[in-house]
Structure 1
Amino acid sequence: MKFIYHSILLLFISSIAFGQELSIDETLANVKREVEKENFDKALSLIEPLRAKFPENEDIQVYAGRIYSWKKDYKTAAKILSPMADRANPNPEALQAIINIYFWSEDYERCIIYCDKYLLSDPKSIDVLRIKATCLEKLNRDQEALELIEKASFIDNSTQAFSGIRTLIGRKAKNTVSASYLNISTSEPGQSPFHYGYVEYSHKFSKSAIVGRANVGHINDDTQMLFEADYYQTFSNKSYLYANGGISTGETIFPVAKAGLEYYFAPHKKFDYSFGARFMHFETDDITLLTGQLAYTAEVYTVAYRPYYDTSNELFSHVLSLQKVNEEKERLIRLELQYGNVPYLYLYNNFTQPLKAYRAGIQYQHRFGESFFVRPIFLYEREEYVPGEYRNRFNVQLIVTKRF
C-alpha cells in the first residue's frame, strides 16, 4: 500500500515539475517571438513573472536584462545584470550583456572595466577585444587601442576585425599632403595637350581645417601659377562652411583672382544639401556661378545632383553622380554625368556664348597601408568648341595623398 502511495506521489510531483519546465520553455519561446518583432514591452510582460517565480535561474535573469538593454532602458538592464557580473565568479553571459549596455550607452570608461573583467577568463575573445579597442578610440586613447589591436592580431592571426578602428584612428591625422597631375587632350580636331598640376597641404584643427594649394598650368608654351586657400568651419549641428580664395600670376590659363563660399546644411535623415557661389575675375570678364547640391545616401551609395548657373552668360550646367564608399577601407568609386560648362576642379573658362558639352567620368580611390591614397580620374567630353562643331576631349588625372 505504501509503495502504491509513494508511486502516486512521485508521479504527481514529476508531473508538476514537467509542467513547470514545459511552461518555462513555452513562455520563453513566446518571449523570443515578441523580441524578434521588437515588441519589447510585450516580451517583458511575459518574462517578468518568470523572473519573480525563478529568481535563481540566471538564464532568465540575463535574458530579461538583455531585453531591457534592447529597449534602451540601460539603467534597469544594468540593475538586473550587475549582481551577476560584479561577483567574484561572474556569469559570462551577464558580463557580455553588461559590456554591450555600457558600450551602447557610450559609457566607455565603465565598458572597459567590464571588458577587462571578461578578458581575465577569456583573453582570446575577439568580440570583447574589438569593443575595448573601440572604447579606447572613442576616448582618444589611440595608442592604447593600436597596441591592443597588435596584441589581438597574434591571437586571431589577422587584423580584419579591427580595420574599421584603425581607419577611425587614421582619420584623426592632423596633416595631409597631396600632389596631382592633370592632362587634357583633344582629338578630331586635336591640339597640343594642356598640362596642370598642384601640390597642397592641409591641417585640421578641432572644428576647422585650412588648405594651401599651389597650382601650375602649361598651355601653348605658356606657364602660369595659381595660389589658393580653402577654409572649412564645422558647427555643432553638423553643418559646415566652405570658403575659397586664390590669385594667379597670369591672366589666361587661370582666373586672375577667384573666390567661393558654400554652406552645407545639417543633414536631414538621409539627405544632404548645400548652397553657394563661385566668383572668378578674368582679364576681360567676370564670372559668377551659383551652385548647390542635393544628395541622398542609402547605406554605401550616394546619389547627388549639383547645378551651376552662370549669371553672366545665363548658362545652366548640371552634374549627376553616383558614388559607392567603403568606409572601413576608405575606398570609393564615383560615376558622373555632366552637361554644360561645369568647372573641372579649379578650371573654368570665361565663355561668352552658350557652347554645349556632354561628359561622362569615373574616379576611384584606393588606400595603401593606413595613410597613403591614390585616386585616378578619367573624364570624357564631347565638346562644342565653336557653334555647331564638336570634338573629343579627354581629361586624365592622378592624385596621390599622404596623411600624417
Structure 2
Amino acid sequence: MKFIYYSIFLVFISSVAFAQEINIDETLANVKREVEKENFDKALSIIEPLRAKYPENEDIQTYTGRIYSWKKEYKTAIKILSPMADRNNPNPEALQALVNVYFWTEDYEKCILYCDKYLTIDPKSVEVLKIKATCLEKLNRDQEALDLIDKASYIDNSTQAFSGIRTLIGRKAKNTVSASYLNISTSDPGQQPFHYGYVEYSHKFSKSAIVGRANIGNISGDTQMLFETDFYQTFSNKSYLYANAGVSTGETIFPVAKGGLEYYFKPQKKFDFSLGGRYMHFETDNITLLTGQVAYNAGIYTFAYRPYYDISNELFSHVLSVQRVNEEKERLVRLELQYGNVPYLYLYNNFTQPLKAYRVGIQYQHRFGDSFFVRPIFLYEYEEYTQGEYRNKFNVQLIVTKRF
C-alpha cells in the first residue's frame, strides 16, 4: 500500500516539475511576443519573476539584459550582462549582447574590447567583425578598420557586409580632382557645336571646403576661360553656406565676372531649403538671378523644386528633379524637368531673351573601386531660338572624379 502512495506522490511531483518546465517555455514565448510589439515594460513584468525564481538560468538572464538594452536602460543591461561576460568562461550570448550595448551607447573603446573577447570564441562572426570595424572607423582608426575588413573578406569570401564602412572611410578623403567635357549640339536647324570643359581641385577642412576650377569654352572658333572658386562653410545646426566667385578672359562665352551666395538649411527632418542668388557681369549687361530650393527626402529618393528669377529680364525658370541615391555604393540617378532660361552649370550669357525652352535631363553616377567616379549627363532641350521657331538642342557631358 505504501508503495502505491509513494508511486502516486512521485508521479505528482514529476508532473508538477514538468508543468513548471512548460510554464517557463510558455512564459518566454509570451515575453517574446511582447518584445516584438515593443511592449518592453510588459515583457519585463513577465520575465522578472521568472528571472528571480531561476537565477542560474543564463538564457533568461541574458534575454532580460537584452530587453533592458532595447528599452535603452543601458546601465541595467550592463549590470545584468557583465557577470556572465567578464568571467573566465564567458557566456557567448551575454557577451554578444554586451557588444551591442556598448556600440549603441557609443562607447567604442569598450565595444572593441568585448568584440575581441567574443572573437576569441567565434573568430568568424561577421556581425561582430562588422561592429568592430565600425567602431574603429568612428575612432578614426581607419587603417585598422580596412585591415580588419580585408581579413574578414577571406573569412566570409565577400566584402559586401563591409562596403558601407569602406564608403564612410572613403568620404573622409580630404582631396578631390575632377575633369569634365560638355558638348552642346543643335539640329533643325543645326549649327557648329559648342565645347566646354573644366578641371577642378577641392580640399576639405574640418568644417569647410574650398574648390578651385578652371573652365574653358569654345564657340565658333572663339576660346575663352573662366577661373572661379567655390567655398562651403558648415555650421553646428547642420546648415551650410555656399559662396562662388569667378573672372574670365572674355566677354561673351562666360561673364566677365560672377559671384553667388546660397544658404542651405534643414528646419525639419525630411525637408531641405535654400535661399540665394547669382550675379553675372557682362561687358554690355548685368544679370542677377534669385534662386532657392525646397527638397523632400523620402528614404533613398529626394524630390526637389528650384526656381530662378532673372531680375534684369523679368524671366522665371523652373527645375523639378527626382534623385535616387544608394549611399553605400555612392551611386545616384537623377531625372530633371526644366522650363525657361535655366543656367546649365556656369552657362548663362547676356543674350537672354523671353523665349521658351523645355528640357528633360538624366544623369548617373557610378563609383569604381573606393575612390573613382564617373558621371555621364544628358540633357535634351526643345528650344525657341527665335520667336515661334524651335530647334533641338543636345547637351552631353561626362565628369570623372578621383578623391584621395
**Aligned residue identity for 2:260:** G
Report the equivalent of 2:66: 66
Partner of 1:361: 361
Q: Counterpart of 1:314?
A: 314
Deviations 1:269-308 (A, max 9, x none): 1111111111111111111111111111112111111111
- Name stretches of at least 5 consecutive residues in structure 1 with no aligned partner: none
Cα distance in 1, alignment partners of residues 73 and 338 from structure 2: 50
Matched residue of 2:118: which SS?
A: helix
**C-alpha displacement of 1:267:** 5.2
Seen in structure 2, the aligned counterparts of structure 1 residues 284 and 105 have a Cα distance that, compared at 3 Å, is same
Q: By how many angstroms is 1:379 displaced?
A: 0.1
Matching residue of 2:210: 210
2:80 alignment counterpart = 80
Note the 1:4-403 alignment, pairs <5 A.
4-266=4-266, 268-403=268-403
> How much does 1:352 deviate?
4.8
Query: What's the CA shift for 1:20?
Result: 1.3
Residue 353 (structure 1) shift:
3.1
- Which deviates the most, 36-45 or 128-137? 36-45
Tell me the amino acid that sits aligned with residue 220 of structure 2.
Answer: N
Deviation of 1:134 (Å): 0.5
Tell me, in whole angstroms, the C-alpha distance in 1 between the residues paired with 2:195 and 2:31.
68
**Tell me, what secondary structure is at the counterpart of 1:250?**
coil
Instruction: Give me the CA root mean square deviation.
Output: 1.0
Kindly report structure 1 stretches of 4+ aligned residues shifted beyond 6 Å: none
Aligned partners of 2:127, 2:202: CA distance in 1, in Å? 36
Contact 2:252–2:350, Cα closer than 8 Å, also in 1: no
- Do the aligned residues in 1 keep the contact of 2:341 with 2:352 (CA within 8 Å)? no
Gaps of 5+ in 2: none
Q: Provide the C-alpha distance between the structure 1 equivalents of 2:289 and 2:18, rounded to a whole number of angstroms.
A: 79
Letter in 2 for 1:56: E
Aligned length: 404
Q: Is contact 1:238-1:267 (8 Å) kept?
A: no
Matched residue SS, 2:266: coil
Confirm or deny: 8 A CA contact 1:238 1:266 kept in the other structure.
yes
User: Would the aligned equivalents of 2:204 and 2:210 in 1 still touch at CA under 8 Å?
Assistant: yes
Note the C-alpha offset of 1:351. Answer: 4.4
Looking at structure 2, the residues matched to 202 and 110 of structure 1 have their Cα atoms a distance apart, in angstroms, of 37
- Mapped to 1, the partners of 2:50 and 2:287 lie a distance apart of 75
The CA distance in 1 between the partners of 2:268 and 2:12, in whole Å, is 64
Equivalent AA in structure 1 for residue 392 of structure 2: N
Moved more, 342-351 or 168-177: 342-351
SS at match of 2:253: coil
1:335 Cα offset (Å) = 0.6
Q: Distance in 1 between matches of 2:362 and 2:378?
A: 6
CA distance in 2, matches of 1:292, 1:2: 95
SS in 1 for 2:277: strand
CA contact (8 A) 1:332 1:365 kept: yes
What is the rounded CA distance, in whole Å, between the counterparts of 1:207 and 1:106 in structure 2?
Answer: 22
Structure 2 distance, partners of 1:69, 1:346, is 52
Q: Which amino acid aligns with 2:107?
A: D
Deviates more, 1:259-268 or 1:182-191: 259-268
Task: Map Cα deviations across residues 35-89 of structure 1 (whole Å, 9 max, x no partner).
Answer: 1111111111111111111111111111111111111111111111111111111
The one-letter code of the counterpart of 2:347 is L
Partners of 1:193 and 1:283 in 2: CA distance: 24
The alpha-carbon deviation at position 266 of structure 1 amounts to: 2.9
Deviation string 1:193-238 (CA, Å, 9 cap, x unpaired) is 0000000000000110000000000001100000000000111111
Instruction: Answer whether contact 1:126 1:152 (CA < 8 A) is retained.
Output: yes
State the alpha-carbon separation in 1 of the partners of residues 160 and 267 from structure 2: 31
User: For 1:79 and 1:358, how far apart are their aligned partners in 2?
Assistant: 65
Mapped partners of 1:243, 1:314: distance in 2: 24
Structure 1 residue 22: deviation in Å?
2.1
- The secondary structure found in structure 2 opposite 1:75 is helix
Question: For the residues of structure 2 that align with 1:6 and 1:53, how far apart are their CA atoms?
Answer: 28
Contact 1:65 1:76 in 2 (8 A): yes
1:361-387 superposed Cα distances (whole Å, 9 cap, x missing partner): 000011111111100000000011111
Cα deviation, residue 261, structure 1: 0.5
